[in-house]
Amino acid sequence: MQLPEELQPALWGAVCGAAAVAIVGFSWGGWVTSSASEALVKQQVSKAVVAALAPICVDNFNRGKDASSQLAELKKAKSWEQGTFVSKGGWAAMPGTASVDTAMANSCAEMLVAAKP
Q: Residue 31 falls within a domain, yes or no?
A: yes
CB 111 within 8 A of CB 60: no
117 pLDDT more than 80: no
Residue 2 domain-assigned (yes or no)? no
Residue of 82, 89, 98 lying closest to 60 (CA atoms): 89
Instruction: Evaluate whether residue 32 is within a structural domain.
Output: yes
Specify the pTM: 0.69
> What tens digit of pLDDT does each residue of 48-106 get?
999 999 999 999 999 988 999 999 999 999 999 999 999 999 899 888 887 888 999 99
Rounded CA-CA distance 12/111 in Å is 60
Residue 20 lies inside a defined structural domain of this protein: yes
What is the pLDDT, as a whole number, of residue 47? 94
Q: Tell me, yes or no, whether 1 lies in a domain.
A: no
- Count of domains for the chain: 1
Asked whether residue 65 is domain-assigned, the answer is: yes
Residue 91 lies in a domain: yes
89 located within any domain: yes
Q: Which domain holds residue 106?
A: 7-114
